[in-house]
Structure 1
Amino acid sequence: MKKINTFLIISTAFVVLLTLFLKENKGVSKEEFRAMIDHHPIQERLKLSKAERKKSGIPPNRYFDDQYLLEMNPVTGKTNPENIQAIIEEERASNVFSKSTIAPGETSDNAWVERGPNNIGGRTRVIFYDPNDVNGTRVFAGGVSGGLWVNDDISDASSSWTQVGIDENLAITCFAIDPNDSNTWYVGTGEAYTHNDGTGNGAWYTTDGGNTWSILWSINLNQNKARRPYFFNEIVAWDNNGTTEVFFALDGWLDYDYVGHIAAGWYKMDTNGDINKIEFEVDGRAYVFSDVEVAADNSLWCATKKNRWSKGGGEIYRTTDGENFTQKYSLSTGDRVELSVSKTDANVVYALVEEGNSTGVRIVKTTDGENFTVLAEPSDVDTGIDPDDFTRGQAFFNLMIEVDPTDDDIVYVGGIDLFRSNDGGTSWDQISKWSNNNDLADLDVSFVHSDQHALVFDPSNSNKGIFANDGGVYYSSNLSSASLSKTAIVARNNNYNITQFYSGAIGPDPDNEMLLGGAQDNGCLYADNVTSGTNSFLKILSGDGIATFIDKDEEYLIVSFVYNVYESYLLPITANSRSIEIRDDTSRGSFANVADLDDNLDILYVNGSSDGTYRVSRFTDLTSGDAGAGSFANTNFIDSEPTAIKVSPYTTGSTTLFVGTETGSIVKIENANDDSFGSTSLTYTNLDVDGVLNTGAISSIAFGENEDEILVTFHNYGVNNIYYTSDGGANWAEKEGNFADIPVKAIMMNPMDKDEVIIGTNYGVWQTDNFTDESPEWVHSQNGMSSVKVTSFELREADNTVLASTYGRGLFTSTFTTDEALSINDNELTNNSLVVYPTISNDGVFNIKTTEEDYNTSVEIYNLQGAKIYDVHNLELKTSNTKQIKLEASSGVYILKIYSENRVLKSQRVIIQ
């Protein structure tokens, strides 16, 4: 097993040598890229087990390791998130954030609508009370990928969060309030503890109590030489005899900025606003502070974590001027340290110290400011958590300690769960549980999401407090009773929508809307009979929810965990619903495994690769509890791991499957449903015979109006990310146009207008209305949505509603529109006396009836291109009978309009399967 510092050294050497070797090349072959992927240093991390990753201080979630390999430039072997920063700077300069850019459709009032969840939060590291609130109940919270939010009355169970108007979807990780001006606040961005998961883009400040925000320190990222956007671990606003001095503790993927200076470390802003580094090093490398707190005598206590060269962790320093440090504690094998200082005694300090190599944690305390003693550790009732390590090997990530500001003997710690001591750390009571696993079912304390990050006390009553963790925000009005109560700590996540979704699915019926998504650390979330706007969701699978699907006949849905773990539920879901196992295999596929459902034939296709064999697996009998399985691999076509799988909606009697790979190949597989899996039954076709598609990882495959009209996107930096063919792959056209060099994750064409296409990217949704031109013009389509990473699109054909899943802001919907001939007016939809049924037909037969009055009508039906394909006049509709019409047309979506006296009585979208 490689140590993390060895990995970093190898990574640096790899990138340098590779860049020198390939810098004159315009590209690389698929074979060269395959070799680059196979031998990339990040593979050393991917080989580690979950336990080994924790031991090395690496998050057990492999998603962003996989994303790095998918997104890296095929020439340089590294990613370029600084490209997103360049877009941000350009948009800020042009004031685009104040403009109303459009969502899908051709009208500026067609906005994205946030759909939730409104009852489930997400990873939160920052929480603080508004110092200017006279009621003492206004609270701000920062999501690691969801921005800054405010709640006007945290004590009220019905209170709701609203997003603060910073113009970007920031990864908020730290804050400070000016001790001499309660209207001046600072927030820092970038979460170092999970590397790529929450990259930062500077520090922000407000001078009007949080109403408006401006950039304070924008990270200067050079396109060619920059490493990672830096991570702000701490911001400290310190009162120096009436003058506020601001300090910043920076972390980073590597310790050098783009001009070769050490970037991680301790910085100070002078009275002119200039920010300068304070040299404080270990073996020539900057110390990295993980926590800094102001003591009762105004001295600063500073705790360290290892820098990226594995130096300087496990130490505590004290300074009286912010520039000269005296060591007070050191654990030679230590790593990250979190502090809590007494508010009444300058010499009382508690600290949680990560032992290093995830061998556990220790709690230490000093009462004289000099000598630290080791305290007893709490033992979690969960027998799956080591009694010597309540963080479960994740002290590099979930580590929290706070002392009561009015009583130094009351102290709280958090890892997976929360604990309280009333005797200065001599003994501990457990005050929360993350589940009913093992012996937790018998523990009568509050349910609180796992992975604890912060605790703040009510400024006027320290028996009240707010916790921040991976499940969002939790509130207690009576902390002293928490060890004896199931309700002492309760969630406060109403409309705190910072959920990180890997995927989303939408049900086929607009009148019984169902939403489903797979979320990081929040499982698979489901809602039915939802209303417009945000909705409450039900968790139907725990852990990391990945791919999700809703059957178009509304008979079942599919949820998944990492790798090849899939379950189904029969619809409708009730209180007695139980999941049905399809497959439980964590040895195949990738962490966030790609899959697609053929819901005509009820077959699930997934990436089933393992041990260097690239294959597609197939599961049938999805709701029987005895799913059939098989797989097919053809190295002549599936030449690397599948990264995009798409079932054609146009071939319904069998499965025509499209597979995109990690090196840019795309293959069409006909008869993929054949039981024999034989080479004679499956027909493989290479859709890029001439090698027009670039080398890189295919991220999504979508269709236009037929199976020959295909849209393809790529994950990578440094490539053309968007391609289109209208002849089944015989000829491909690049559709990058003016789009920036950033990863694209999803694509969708307006089914009523092939000139309009939307893409989901690492920086929000973008749209073009001239896709068929040689060089489309792309614009940021963020009206109603933050500039957040978009992971998938799903279309509800009945009304052309698009569901967008985001990694940090939940689910959003919008609707494709077109010209007036095909529009459906809201007033028409309210005419409930006219009924068209079924809206989804297998044979083109539709019934029309009236329930309140008789009409003499005309009926017209249009296809989605606006052409009238059916027309009947003088159709008498009476309350006593039903009229039947027969539409001779191919499968698809159509608009049925009922007229009387030149007035539209009813418009209805209908589908022929």
Structure 2
Amino acid sequence: MAISTEEVAQSKNISVAQVQSLCRSRGTTNETLAALPEAAVRRALLRLDFPDLPTARGLFRVKQERSDDGNVRPHGLGEAYVQVESLLSREAPSMTAGVPTGLNGRTRRAGPAPTAGMQLSDWVWLGPGNIGGRTRGIVLDPADPDSIWAVSAGGGVWHTEDGGAQWAPVDDFLENLSCGCIAVDPSDASTMYVGTGEAFHNIDAIRGNGIFRTTDAVAWAPITATQTPDFQFVSRIAVSRDGTVVLAATSTGLFRSADPARATWTRVLGHPLGDVRFDPLDSDKAVAGALGAGAAWFSRDGGLTWDLATGGPWSGRVELAYAAKDPDIVYASVQMSTGQIWRSQDGGASYTRRKTLTPDGLPSDYLGGQGWYDNAIWAGDPTDADLVVVGGIDLYRSTDGGDHLAEISTWWEPTSVHADQHAIVAHPSYDGVTNRTVFFGNDGGVFRADDLATVGTEPEPPFVNGWTELVNDYGVTQFYAGAGHSGSGKIIGGAQDNGSLVFDPALGTQDWREFFGGDGGWCASDPTDPDVFYGEYVFLNIHRNTDGATTEDTQGDRYISGQFFNFATRDWAWKQVPFRIPDAKNENALFIAPFVLDPNDENRILAGGLSLWRTDNAKQPNTPVDGPAWRAIKPGAGALISAIAVARGNSDVVWVGHENGMVFRTANGTAATPAWARVGATGPSALEPRRFCTGITVHPTDPDTAYVTFGGYERGNLWVTTDAGAAWTDLATALPRAPIRALAVHPRRTDLLYCGTEVGLFASEDAGASWSPTNEGPTNCSVDDLFWMDEVLVCVTHGRGMFQIDLSTIP
């Protein structure tokens, strides 16, 4: 029986308007909201204040890639990887600053251990082995369906030979690990293509560098002709049935290649495209969908020429699917405001709208408010052209050609399917009768439904029956930052769309747990109390955990930046000054905004928005009316704060970096009103970059020595001063021209430096005068953070989870 909006509002003690907003934003139904647990209701209400997180996430990442002129250098990423290859080829196998470097690992495949052929000799992969990451594409070997490939947004191409029981990366030294799609040649399953970069406006991982190909399902190589700006964001690849023609949909148009070497690519459509498909039975026919312009095209000559399809008017991204039973039927999932299904009866030449209703006859908002980000459609049943599956935040099944949609997954239930759907692929033996197995790729990894007809058919939410998670060391989690407690060994990390996570060494890599939902950000661990951790939601919303990160925030009372859930009004509210950070309330902060725990005083936190905020009682009990008190100790400088560092042993020395490259220092940071001076702006040895300051690291024993890192595909992304900022030296002359995101100084051997870049980790034994590329562990993945647990270095990646290496035995 249908549940009315008024009934949901009454049962959850929220307003009708809130129910309507939740349904629209989450792409869900009244029935699902009625089953929503109380804690999930509060989290969902909070997200209403941040309606377009994927866009904000993408803009944040782009800021870190821009050069001084505000643009991202077109060939920057590809050139950086070429530089890495050159450095590796010139260096003999060795150990540099305690980590393996040089060419030795070039032929190895580093990754989660232990896996056959994958054992790491020095680095230890920490996981998460049970929490995946954004997966944009999946293909299966028709001759061996247990052999599956998946591509991740930040962690490259992964392969399993046992149906998902164990995964491993195919090659950690691919020139690009940001993958947007994968396609298999229907005429030869050993030939596959991977498109790099994500064209769906959420460029929060790394830019692409063309298309990669394998012809033996083992060795991958770039297609040189695609390593151009036209192929920075490849959203979909289609291969004709006979394998002769390849079509690539990119952010700059549709490209076609018909020569076996794929040496020639011709632009055949000049519109940004998100999808392209060949007719599964006829290689002369193909369809393509717009990336954001609300249009579709069709071809009748193998993709040589294209005509605009009729139908609409449409808006936004258009995803397409041929019906396997009758390819004259083509379905379109059109972004619009919250999603519409359209159907063509003439092979994609014209479309008519389907009803797109819930089983109760109400409009189905199946894409929610982010169909540009997660939008997938499938009609691959060879026995039923009316069976359609669509995915937005959740998955929906239609048995009448898109007129009515029933939810079959539930985003808030851990035993269902993770939110944000990107790929739907049938088992090669799917026949609609004896085999109805389908695979799904989403922001949580890879999932399987063994019977598409019965999965998620419970009478009411949550829909969990029939779903199987296939993460199992599919280690592609995208972390932004991390922290750990040396005594307990626990590590926490803030992850893209997977919340704030905790690793307990007693539980292992397969048991990472979420202790705060949403997007995770910067982290801190109280060195004096193993039970106290700090994490962050977006825009400087700092939260505190006091039970060793063993439980989630179920009452909405763990924010110490000022937010709290008002049970009287059933909505989120803000405390009065001084018990809030005004920049957090007003979103005057970066999407992932920096905060640090003073290494000399566990009661002091510094947090950066437009101003720099400080609390000196971080452990103050938190209530709806008080808690830690905040005050601004550095006024705004016209650009958001992007990096903060406090000198170990001297809390008065504080360094602050901004998104426009400005760096400030104070020598009385504990004063009520510290005096700040901009450093490096002028002089013969000035700090040159005028781009995003990604990090500041203060020397462990000398507060006048600091290392500053910058974004952009440029030289000069690492600088050092030894005189409190009066003079600066460029340490990046031997490093690739890529964003540098983190730097760590060995606590005891301070001449040993470790540098995290967009293209992997580098080590130096001479205080940065020379650098060596590492050959295992993080390899070519973006390294976003580095931190110490005593003399164990933990490497936090944006696409491969976390790694650690024990450097305590260095003489």
Question: Normalising by the residue count of structure 2, what TM-score does the alignment of the two structures yield?
Answer: 0.80
What is the CA distance between 1:69 and its match in structure 2? 3.6
Is the Cα contact below 8 Å between 1:514 and 1:526 reproduced in 2? yes
Partner of 1:182: 189
Distance 1:179 1:673, change over 3 A: same
595-604 or 394-403, larger mean C-alpha shift: 595-604
Q: Distance in 2 between matches of 1:364 and 1:87?
A: 43
Post-superposition offset of 1:545: 0.4
Residue of 455, 468, 476 corresponding to 1:490:
468
Amino acid at match of 2:285: L
Q: 1:98 to 1:394 in 2, by over 3 A?
A: farther
Query: Cα deviation per residue 1:759-783 (whole Å; 9 max; x = unaligned)?
Result: 11111111122226xxx12221242
* Alignment partner of 2:559 out of 539, 562, 581: 581
Instruction: Write the distance in 2 (CA, Å) between the matches of 1:371 and 1:662.
Output: 48
Do residues 414 (structure 1) and 391 (structure 2) align? yes
Residue deviations 1:739-797 (CA, integer Å, cap 9, x gap): 2332211111222323321111111111122226xxx1222124222311111111112
Instruction: Identify the residue that residue 366 of structure 1 maps to in structure 2.
Output: 344
Q: How far 1:415 moved relative to its partner? A: 0.8
Candidates 613, 616, 627, aligned match of 2:613 = 616
Task: Give the distance between the partners of 2:505 and 2:237, measured in 1 at CA.
Answer: 45
Residue 266 (str. 1) matches residue 255 (str. 2): yes
Q: 1:430 to 1:111 in 2, by over 3 A?
A: same
Partner of 1:661 in structure 2? 658
**What letter matches 1:592 in structure 2?**
I
Q: Given residue 363 of structure 1, which amino acid in structure 2 is its aligned partner?
A: I
Of the structure 1 ranges 639-648 and 405-414, higher mean CA displacement relative to structure 2 is found in 639-648
Distance 2:552 2:71 in 1: 49
Tell me, in whole angstroms, the C-alpha distance in 2 between the residues paired with 1:721 and 1:174. 31
Whether the 8 Å CA contact 1:508–1:796 is kept in 2: the answer is yes
- Counterparts in 2 of 1:219 and 1:544: CA distance versus 1, 3 Å: same
One of 143, 148, 153 as aligned partner of 1:144: 153
In the other structure, the counterpart of 1:743 is 739
CA distance in structure 1 between the partners assigned to 2:676 and 2:373 by the alignment: 46
SS in 2 for 1:463: coil
Asked if the contact 1:81–1:228 (Cα under 8 Å) also holds between the matched residues in 2, the reply is no
- Check 1:734–1:200 CA distance in 2 against 1; reply closer, same or farther (3 A cut): closer
* Paired letter, 1:150: H
CA contact (8 A) 2:709 2:719 kept: yes
Q: Does the 8 A contact of 2:778 with 2:797 survive in 1? A: no
Q: Is the 8 A contact 1:266 1:278 kept in 2?
A: yes
Tell me the equivalent position of 1:568: 544
Pair 1:537–1:362, CA change in 2 (3 A): same
Match of 2:757 in 1: 761
Q: Is the 8 A contact 2:531 2:547 kept in 1?
A: yes
Question: Which residue does 2:374 correspond to in 1?
Answer: 398
Q: Equivalent residue of 1:138, what SS? A: strand
Aligned-partner Cα distance in 1 for 2:91–2:198: 28
Q: Is the 8 A contact 1:615 1:641 kept in 2?
A: no
Matched, 1:591 2:559: no
Aligned to 1:873: none
CA deviation profile, 1:543-583 (whole Å, cap 9, x unmatched): 11011111112240011101121111113344588663211
Q: Does 1:672 align with 2:669?
A: yes
Which position in structure 1 is the counterpart of 2:532? 556
In 2, Cα distance between equivalents of 1:558 and 1:165 = 35
Say yes or no: does 1:352 pair with 2:333: yes
Q: 1:99 to 1:507 in 2, by over 3 A?
A: farther
Which residue, 231, 234, 239 being the options, matches 2:233? 231
Computing the radius of gyration over CA atoms, which structure comes out larger, 1 or 2? 1
Q: Secondary structure at the match of 1:582?
A: coil
Q: How far did residue 124 of structure 1 move?
A: 0.5
Contact 1:380 1:390 in 2 (8 A): no
Which of 156, 160, 167 aligns to 2:166? It is 160
Counterpart among 540, 549, 555 of residue 515 in structure 2:
540
Q: Which residue is 1:375 aligned to?
A: 354
Sort the Cα spacing of 1:544 and 1:246 in 2 relative to 1 into closer, same or farther, 3 A: same
Contact kept in structure 2, 1:718 and 1:741, CA below 8 Å: yes
Of 184, 201, 209 in structure 2, the residue corresponding to residue 201 of structure 1 is 209
Residue equivalent to 1:781: 774
Tell me the matched-pair count: 702
1:505-558 CA-to-partner distances (Å, cap 9, x unmatched) read 12122xx311110011110001223477x4421011111101111111224001
Q: Counterparts of 2:630 and 2:244 in 1: how far apart (Å)?
A: 65
Partner of 1:84: helix, strand, or coil? helix
Q: Which has the higher strand share?
A: 1
CA apart distance, 1:649: 1.7
The residue aligned with 1:646 is: 645
What is the aligned-residue RMSD (CA, Å)? Answer: 3.2
Paired residue for 1:455?
A: 424
Higher relative contact order (CA 8 A, sep 6+): 2
Q: Say if 1:771 and 1:447 are closer, same or farther in 2 by CA, change over 3 A.
A: same
**Aligned counterpart, 1:440:** none
- Superposed CA deviations along residues 311-358 of structure 1, whole A, max 9, x for unmatched, are xx4224142432133444333433322122122323222221223xxx
1:464 aligned onto 2:437: yes
- For residues 549 and 667 of structure 2, the distance between their equivalents in structure 1, rounded to whole angstroms, comes to 34
Say if 1:104 and 1:781, in contact at 8 Å, map to a contact too. Answer: no
Give the equivalent residue in structure 2 for 1:423: 400
Q: Judge conservation of contact 2:386–2:401 (CA < 8 Å) in 1.
A: yes
Report the Cα distance in structure 2 between the residues aligned to 1:199 and 1:160, rounded to whole angstroms: 28
Give how far 1:660 is off.
2.2
Shift, 1:464, TM fit = 1.2
List gaps (5 residues or longer) in structure 1: 1-48, 222-226, 256-263, 437-444, 823-913
In structure 2, do the counterparts of structure 1 residues 217 and 379 end up closer, same or farther at CA, with 3 Å as the change threshold?
Answer: farther
Q: CA deviation at 1:83?
A: 2.7
| Structure 2 SS opposite 1:62 | helix
- Distance in 1 (CA, whole Å) between partners of 2:682 and 2:305 is 64
Structure 1 residue 453: Cα displacement? 1.0
Which residue of the partner structure matches residue 277 of structure 2? 292
Change (3 A) 1:733 1:623: same
Contact 1:141 1:149 in 2 (8 A): yes
Contact persistence 2:666–2:677 (CA under 8 A): yes
AA aligned opposite 2:593: N
With over 3 angstroms needed to count, the CA separation of the structure-2 counterparts of 1:474 and 1:601, relative to structure 1, is: same
CA displacement, residues 208-264 of structure 1 (integer Å, 9 cap, x when unaligned): 2x221122245445xxxxx57522222222135xxx312222323xx4xxxxxxxx3
Task: From 133, 138, 142, give the equivalent of 1:122.
Answer: 133
- Contact map agreement 1:235 1:246 (CA 8 A) in 2: no
Question: What is the distance in 2 between the residues matched to 1:99 and 1:62?
Answer: 43
Amino acid at match of 1:164: V
Q: What is the aligned partner in structure 1 of residue 302 from structure 2?
A: 321
Say whether residues 1:813 and 2:808 are aligned partners: no
> Are 1:700 and 2:701 matched, yes or no?
no
Distance in 2 between residues matched to 1:453 and 1:497, nearest whole Å: 18
**Do 2:778 and 2:795's aligned partners in 1 also have CA atoms closer than 8 Å?**
no
CA displacement, residues 814-857 of structure 1 (integer Å, 9 cap, x when unaligned): 233565xx4xxxxxxxxxxxxxxxxxxxxxxxxxxxxxxxxxxx
* TM-score using structure 1 length: 0.71
- Mapped to 2, the partners of 1:668 and 1:785 lie a distance apart of 32
